Every structure is written in C-alpha cells, then in structure tokens.
Amino acid sequence: MVIDWLKLDVNILNDEKIRIIRTYPDGDSLFVLWVGLLCLAMKSRRPGIIEIADGMPYSIDDLAGLFDLEKKTVELGLSLFSKYQMISVFSGGSIDVINFSKHQKLEQIERSREQVRERVKKYREKQKRNALLTSNTVTGNATDTDTDTDTDTDTDLPPYSPPEGKVKASAKDEFVLPEEIPTETWDAYMEVRKKKKAAQTPYALNLVIKKLVRIRDECGDDPVDVLDKSITSGWSDVYPLKAYSGGSRSIGEGVRI
C-alpha cells in the first residue's frame, strides 16, 4: 500500500503525552522527531514499521541527519516515546509505532481503494461493451450504405441472380451478435420472442440491436440490463429502463420489432 499523506488529529498538541514530552529540553524538536517518525512509518514498505528496508533499521545518526536534529535529542526522544508506549523497538533495531494502523485507519483505506478499483473495473467493462456495440452497429450501417450506393450506380447493369440456395444462406449470416452481449442473455431473450411469435429474421434482430444502441445513447441504459428487463417482463421488444418508472415510453413508442 502506497499512501503519500498522513492523518494527524487536530488536537495533537493537546494530547497528554505530547504535552509532557514538550516540557523536556528541546521539547519542540522532540515533537518534530515524533511527526518525522510517523512520516517514515507511513512511507515504509510495512506501514507502521520504521526501517530503511526489510530488517534494516535506521540508526541514531540516520534519524538525526534526516530530521536535522542533534543525536542526543534523537536518543532522548526514542527513550521517551518508548517509555510512554508510543513505540516499541524490535531486537533488530527496527521501530514499531504502536497502534499505527488503527490510528491511520489503513484497513478502511484499503477497503475504500478496493471498492474504487471495482467501480473503475465495472465502468471500463461497461464502456468497452458500449464501444463494441456502437462499432457493430456502425459497421452494419456502413454495409447497408455500400449496398444502396452500388444499386444506384449500376442501374444499367442487369440484376444479379445468385445461384439457387445461396440467398437463404447469405440472409442467415447477416445478423452477428455483438460480443459484449452474453450469449445466455440473448438466448433467453430469443426464447421470449419465440413464445410471443415475434419476428426472428436477421433484419428484425438487427433492428433490436440498433434500438439497444439508441436507448443506451439517449437514456444511458446498459444494453444487457435492458435485455434482462425484457426477459423478466416477458416483452418481445426492448424499452428504456427509466420509461417504466415514469409511466411513459420515450423511445420507439409503439414500435414492435
């Protein structure tokens, strides 16, 4: 865990132990030493343990040099901090700030960070699904446009008559389920359409995908959530999720596909 800030109580100067320590010679320097030790404890690879590296403690000279203090001040400070149970010193010389994790709420911070990471992960997955869905729709539109252009341009050519049996195979391959929509979700939705005797032609299914894109872009509803709502409600069509909280349908009113 890497944290570049330190939590200090605004009443730290009124803390009983701090007030006692500040009555000693160089009391203000002792307070500087204490805050410096807290900073080192937070920067440590093992928060709360003051050491240069694992098993490599700071010496008196090291601490005096880091905080620009006299050696005798550092020695006195460590002695007082230990006396008032603010620190404990391991046999190897590393310093442990007592109850450091509790006072700095490290576990709470880590939980919060984990929650943020999960939210970011879900957001990125949703953005990826939306991008793929848009890409799939744009590609389908581009294909339709090319077909129309060819038809308009080549008006002098005789119409092409494909060999028998190939037309149906081509039409069957016109619909491709976008990768961001789980197969199980789509299969469940298709079962509903089948029971409702709704059209299941490639053209009709492409209209469903295009409508999902419109709902997402205009209402912000995730396509998978929209499909789930249609499945649980037994609808052969798809509608904005918010339409049912207000009692109106703002997209595709009356359009059944």
Confidence of residue 130 (pLDDT cuts 50, 70, 90): confident
Higher pLDDT: 192 or 123? It is 192
Residues 6+ apart with CB under 8 A from 196: 234, 235, 236
Which pLDDT does position 48 carry in this prediction? 85
Q: Which domains does the chain have, with CATH numbers?
A: 12-104 (1.10.10.10), 107-136+167-246 (no CATH)
Structure pTM?
0.43
Res. 135: pLDDT tops 70: no
Which pLDDT does position 102 carry in this prediction? 75
Lowest model confidence (mean pLDDT) among 67-76, 134-143, 195-204:
134-143
Res. 143: pLDDT tops 80: no
Mean pLDDT, residues 210-233 taken together: 89
Which pLDDT does position 124 carry in this prediction? 79
Higher pLDDT: 74 or 92? It is 74
Higher pLDDT: 116 or 178? It is 178
Contact 31, 21 (CB under 8 A): yes
Mean pLDDT, residues 94-116 taken together: 74
Which pLDDT does position 36 carry in this prediction? 94
- Average per-residue pLDDT in the chain? 79
Per-residue pLDDT of 192-220, as tens digits, reads 999 999 998 998 998 999 899 888 888 88
Among 96, 94, 74, which Cα is nearest to 86's? Answer: 96
Mean pLDDT, residues 25-51 taken together: 91
Query: CA-CA distance, 158 to 251, in Å (whole number)?
Result: 41
Which pLDDT does position 150 carry in this prediction? 45
Residues 6+ apart with CB under 8 A from 26: 70, 73, 76
Higher pLDDT: 156 or 34? It is 34
Which pLDDT does position 149 carry in this prediction? 46
